[in-house]
A and B are shown apart, each in its own frame.
Chain A
Amino acid sequence: MSVEAGAQAPVIEIRGLRKTFRDFWFRPVAEAVNGIDLTVERGDVFGLLGPNGSGKSTTIKMVLGLLAPTAGSVKLFGLSPRARAARARLGYLPELSYLHPFLTARETVMYYAGLSNLDRKTAKARTAELLEQVGLAENANRPVGGFSKGMARRVAFASALVSHPELLILDEPTSGLDPIGTREVKELIGRLAADGLTILVTSHQLFDMQDVCSRVAILSHGKVVGSGRVADIVAAAADKRHALEDYFVARLGAGQEGAK
């Protein structure tokens, strides 16, 4: 499918996705994802929520093309996740920052700009703009090996955004951040969403997700046990402040009953 055709397709389309992990002898050891169907439309801030081991990270890795599905399909902009045209429109922030400690903040962002095929002049301007945006302009020439977790997270955020992605995948973006850092990340997600960026985000922080997500899906044992618009969930809830948390607990309980 061409990129032009992909422009009309959903940003992420997951159909019947399964992933079975096997041991050395190809015997199945875990059914991490068990028949997921999801669609993320343009402009969505989609929260993929679930307890540990529910299959969130495995799903994200398949969306990124880092893992091959056992069955089913994943399409990014109507293309395979391994297609270069799809990868060119993608930004990814992993759960941990995984930065090269010997590079400075500026060099790190420039490196990912280069990998995203930005020309040097554009890359320099974009790097300066992003480092300013994440509040690291003054530390741009310090090696990231000496950065705090929060500063490293901000460098990783800038690296994910450097190529002007249409889809941003955030894996636990507030993991390990202090309350101020968490608020900054939430504000940044809000600004990006307002700019029309599509965001797929996983998190355990349901309270935070309620503030930033437009739609959510709850995963349990590799299956979607609940999904919907956050506005609808909040409208239907008695306790508006903890609406998503209550919905999560309720769907998880229902999912476990179903599994039994």
Chain B
Amino acid sequence: MKDSFILAWRALVRGHVLALLLVATALAHAFLPKLIRSDGTAEGWREMFVRAVPGAAYAFIAVTILACACGFFAQERERFRLSLTVVRPVSAFGVACGKWLALCAVAATALAFSGLLTACRLADAPRCLHHYAPRLPSTAVCAREALAAYLADPQTPESVKQAPRSAVLSLLTNKELDRYDVVRPKTAIDWPFDAALAAKGQEVIVRVRFATQFERRAPFEGQLTFGPYSAPVKHSTQSVLDIPLAEGTTNAAPAGAATVDLHFANTSGETVMLRPRRDLEILTPADSFRGNLVRAGLQMFAAIALLAAFGLFLSASVSRPVALFTATVAVLVALMAPSVVAQFPDEMDTKFTERFGLAVSRLICGLTSTVGEASPLSDLATDTCIEWSALVRGLLVNVLALPAAFLAGCAVVVRRKPLANNT
């Protein structure tokens, strides 16, 4: 593995790949900020900067590493160097691991350089924030309960009862995500949150976006209370509001409770509503921007490590042009799959071909979920703390499990097919 790593590292360094990545990253950090047009606020500029500059560097590094990975084994085989390697007493898995580690090392160096430049530029960025959603039953549980209610209802048409169960559940799950809670004038509503958030002596911010029917902007007012914290709200609907709660002496969280309710009393004459799974969060301060930057860098590294292993597997299996084409198509499909699933939730109304496409898109979403769920740039741009639990899960899957599977596949193919053509 060590010799394969050194060979691949030298190929990347002496082939000017590392230099190209470092220069491109430096150029992105030097010139792209001049093109940024923001809303004029420091937060807006910072958000645009993070998405545009480290984002561009990340994309360039990922594409370059994937392109290099797609060529490694394929080129060695086409130039008959692979046969010289496999006739030695080496493990093909070790050879594949060495190449993958070299690609990862180059990617890590370039990402670290980009991170360093970002940290210097955004030295005064504020702390990031933990985001907590209400502790509601899972969408799957809600969907199953709703389905049971439909089936038990004698007024439900037979055609609906005989529809495929998985399709109905998928539909109900999506509906649950967009379910609105309605708060009529002079009434109140509660949403449960983790009780630990209501402990005394910390900063608590409620991020909320109220709506009205027909999406019109309307003034409203009310009072938010969460354990010992509370604050009045007075604004218009359709805006995302960050409301810092002030600590008082009343409504302390009961000891031993798993959840504490966030209470909203609508004191205005307007009916307001919100989707609790999409429009409501409690924010608490996390660590520094730099800490979050490191975690974002690790998430980006994990995604690139997976791409590198995938590229190596393709390069072991097919020629370089075919590997590049397949990798490009696979990445584009993986990027588009979540949009396909989100845009066509109702699979009962679609044709067979569309249902097939939807099933494939869902499969790809499932396979790439650990990469797809992570949004390092978006989180960094919006000061959302990247949680260690999600980061560790991503690293385990994208840096260990999936690459190990790809590299094992790579080793099998290399052993079986060391020559460009079997003649």
Q: Is B374 an interface residue (CB 8 A)?
A: no
Interface window among B8-16, B221-229, B263-271 = B8-16
Asked if residues A100 and B89 are in contact (CB atoms below 8 Å), the reply is no
Q: Is A43 an interface residue (CB 8 A)?
A: no
Asked if residues B89 and A87 are in contact (CB atoms below 8 Å), the reply is yes
Asked if residues A94 and B83 are in contact (CB atoms below 8 Å), the reply is yes
Asked if residues B6 and A111 are in contact (CB atoms below 8 Å), the reply is yes
Asked if residues B80 and A111 are in contact (CB atoms below 8 Å), the reply is no
Asked if residues B11 and A102 are in contact (CB atoms below 8 Å), the reply is yes
Find B87's partner among A30, A66, A103, A117 (CB 8 Å cutoff).
Answer: A66
B423 partner residues in chain A, CB cutoff 8 A: 21, 30, 32, 58
B81 partner residues in chain A, CB cutoff 8 A: 98-100
Find B88's partner among A94, A99, A116 (CB 8 Å cutoff).
Answer: A116
A61 partner residues in chain B, CB cutoff 8 A: 83, 419
A116 partner residues in chain B, CB cutoff 8 A: 88-89
B178 partner residues in chain A, CB cutoff 8 A: none
Asked if residues A102 and B2 are in contact (CB atoms below 8 Å), the reply is no
Asked if residues A65 and B419 are in contact (CB atoms below 8 Å), the reply is no
Q: Which residues A141-179 have CB closer than 8 A to chain B?
A: 159, 163
**What is the size category of the interface that chain A forms with chain B?**
20 to 34
Q: Is A121 an interface residue (CB 8 A)?
A: no
Taken together as a complex, chains A and B put the C-alpha atoms of A61 and B422 apart, in Å, by 10
List the B residue with the shortest CB-CB distance to A29. Answer: B423
Contacts known (A61-B419, A66-B419, A67-B419); A102 close to B87, Cβ less than 8 A = no
Distance from B231 Cβ to chain A, minimum over Cβ atoms (Å): 64
Asked if residues B83 and A64 are in contact (CB atoms below 8 Å), the reply is yes
Distance from A23 Cβ to chain B, minimum over Cβ atoms (Å): 11
Taken together as a complex, chains A and B put the C-alpha atoms of A114 and B5 apart, in Å, by 11
Distance from A65 Cβ to chain B, minimum over Cβ atoms (Å): 7
B2 partner residues in chain A, CB cutoff 8 A: 114
List the A residue with the shortest CB-CB distance to B86. Answer: A66
Q: Is A107 an interface residue (CB 8 A)?
A: yes
Taken together as a complex, chains A and B put the C-alpha atoms of A178 and B80 apart, in Å, by 23
Q: Is B403 an interface residue (CB 8 A)?
A: no
Q: Which residues B66-105 have CB closer than 8 A to chain A?
A: 79-81, 83-90
A100 partner residues in chain B, CB cutoff 8 A: 7, 11, 81
**What is the size category of the interface that chain B forms with chain A?**
20 to 34
Taken together as a complex, chains A and B put the C-alpha atoms of A30 and B85 apart, in Å, by 27
Q: Is A112 an interface residue (CB 8 A)?
A: yes
Taken together as a complex, chains A and B put the C-alpha atoms of A15 and B423 apart, in Å, by 21
Asked if residues A114 and B11 are in contact (CB atoms below 8 Å), the reply is no
Distance from A12 Cβ to chain B, minimum over Cβ atoms (Å): 14
Asked if residues A67 and B84 are in contact (CB atoms below 8 Å), the reply is no
Distance from A137 Cβ to chain B, minimum over Cβ atoms (Å): 21
Distance from A86 Cβ to chain B, minimum over Cβ atoms (Å): 9
Most B-side CB within 10 Å, residue of A30, A32, A92, A98: A98
Q: Is A237 an interface residue (CB 8 A)?
A: no
List the B residue with the shortest CB-CB distance to A96. Answer: B80
List the A residue with the shortest CB-CB distance to B3. Answer: A114
Contacts known (A98-B81, A100-B7); A88 close to B422, Cβ less than 8 A = no
Asked if residues B422 and A92 are in contact (CB atoms below 8 Å), the reply is no
Q: Is A5 an interface residue (CB 8 A)?
A: no
Contacts known (A32-B423, A61-B419, A100-B81); A92 close to B87, Cβ less than 8 A = yes
Q: Is A259 an interface residue (CB 8 A)?
A: no
Q: Is B418 an interface residue (CB 8 A)?
A: yes
Q: Mark B276-299, 1 if CB is under 8 A from A, else 0.
A: 000000000000000000000000
Asked if residues B10 and A94 are in contact (CB atoms below 8 Å), the reply is no
Asked if residues B7 and A84 are in contact (CB atoms below 8 Å), the reply is no
List the A residue with the shortest CB-CB distance to B84. Answer: A98
Find B15's partner among A58, A92, A102 (CB 8 Å cutoff).
Answer: A102
Taken together as a complex, chains A and B put the C-alpha atoms of A96 and B79 apart, in Å, by 10
List the A residue with the shortest CB-CB distance to B85. Answer: A115
Most A-side CB within 10 Å, residue of B79, B88, B90: B88
Asked if residues B10 and A87 are in contact (CB atoms below 8 Å), the reply is no
Contacts known (A32-B423, A96-B80, A103-B7); A112 close to B418, Cβ less than 8 A = no
Asked if residues A98 and B80 are in contact (CB atoms below 8 Å), the reply is yes
Asked if residues A88 and B89 are in contact (CB atoms below 8 Å), the reply is yes
B418 partner residues in chain A, CB cutoff 8 A: 66
Q: Is A48 an interface residue (CB 8 A)?
A: no
Taken together as a complex, chains A and B put the C-alpha atoms of A163 and B241 apart, in Å, by 71
Asked if residues B89 and A84 are in contact (CB atoms below 8 Å), the reply is yes
Find B422's partner among A67, A99, A159 (CB 8 Å cutoff).
Answer: A67
Q: Mark B201-224, 1 if CB is under 8 A from A, else 0.
A: 000000000000000000000000
Not counting A88-B89, A115-B90, a sample of 14 additional A-B residue pairs whose C-beta atoms are within 8 angstroms of each other reads: A30-B423, A61-B83, A61-B419, A64-B87, A65-B87, A67-B422, A92-B84, A96-B80, A98-B81, A102-B15, A103-B7, A114-B3, A114-B6, A117-B89
Question: Which 7 pairs show the lowest CB-CB distances between chains A and B?
Answer: A114-B3, A115-B88, A88-B89, A102-B14, A87-B89, A84-B89, A98-B80
9 A-B residue pairings within 8 Å (CB atoms): A32-B423, A61-B83, A66-B419, A96-B80, A100-B7, A102-B10, A103-B10, A114-B3, A117-B89
